[in-house]
Amino acid sequence: MILILQFQASAQKITAADLKKLNAKEDSLAAYAENLVMDSLPENRMRSDSFFVRTLIRSLQVKNSFYYPFDSVLGISKLYAPDSAFRIISWVLSFDDYYSRQRAAIQMRTPDGSFKIHPLYDVSEESMNVMDSTRTKMRWIGAVYYNMVATEYRGKKYYTLFGNDNNSVMSNKKWIEVLHFTDKGEPLFGGPFFSFANDSIPSPVQHRYQLEYKEDARIILAYDPELQMIIFDHLIPEDGEPEKKWTYIPDGDYEGFQWKNGQWVHVEKIFHFKLEDGEAPVEKPLFKSGGN
């Protein structure tokens, strides 16, 4: 509650003149964001993305813009860290049914309200060793983020991100990514954070975690604050061929991760009974109800 009140008080620091600027830019951003999703021509979506980026940067350069929510800019994730140290603005640019690229920037909260961002560059399609690499903002594995959980270990803060990735026409992905910062304030993604040492058949530590599944399947990947666990669907190939990741669907069981000693430790099976509809944890929606 104290953090919320501090945040609201800081938002009041936006001057009337700057608020007018931000309101006008928000209208433009909302139009570009709609075209990013709704326009049927890829060249128009690319043009809207270019205009969106330029307008977003100009918007974030306005003093204390960190506290401006851009609520009417739909289809764009604006995700604040639980401690309000930063926010990540992320979205997807779809070129066609087979190829898309994630776009994002981290806006840092600064004491004087000045401009400080870290643009992120999606290199997913050209990356090798995705699961065992720590990455800078120049080598980001792209996702549109919908939730964030803050943890600590030995005095250092870690922010676990949950993201969507429109992988291909046949499959989608969800990512769990741990974001942390260097002593110089530079963002780093990943590290030896995902342990499978307690599994019945242990496997090596991973730097991030992904779920790939059938394009029209609906799966859960969420954090349950009561259990203090990440919970997600256990997936199986519907035709029994495990190498075909685009055929994976939920089977009704759930796996998870628990934060222990600076790692997310894998739990092979959380519940020893099948959950009924509505009993599983629910992800935070990117769009508002009604499809917006």
pLDDT above 90: residue 129: no
3-state secondary structure of 39: coil
Q: For residue range 8-46, what is the model confidence (pLDDT) as tens digits?
A: 555 568 999 999 999 999 999 999 999 999 999 999 999
Q: 157: number of CA atoms within 13 Å, CB side?
A: 15
- pLDDT for the residue 285: 56
Reading the block at residue 34, the tokens are 């709609």
State the pTM of this model.
0.89
Across 260-271, average pLDDT: 95
- pLDDT for the residue 292: 42
CA–CA separation, 6 and 10 (whole Å): 6
Sequential DSSP letters for 87-131: EEEEEEEESSSS-EEEEEEEEEP-TT----EEEEEB-GGG-S-GG
Cβ contact 53:73 at 8 Å: no
Cβ contact 205:194 at 8 Å: yes
Q: For residue range 140-158, what is the model confidence (pLDDT) as tens digits?
A: 999 999 999 999 999 999 9
- pLDDT for the residue 13: 87
CA–CA separation, 213 and 237 (whole Å): 9
Cβ contact 79:87 at 8 Å: yes
Reading the block at residue 251, the tokens are 């089977």
Length of the chain: 292
Q: Starting at the edge strand that comes first in sequence, how are the strands of the sheet with 194-195 ordered?
A: 194-195, 263-267, 248-260, 229-237, 221-224
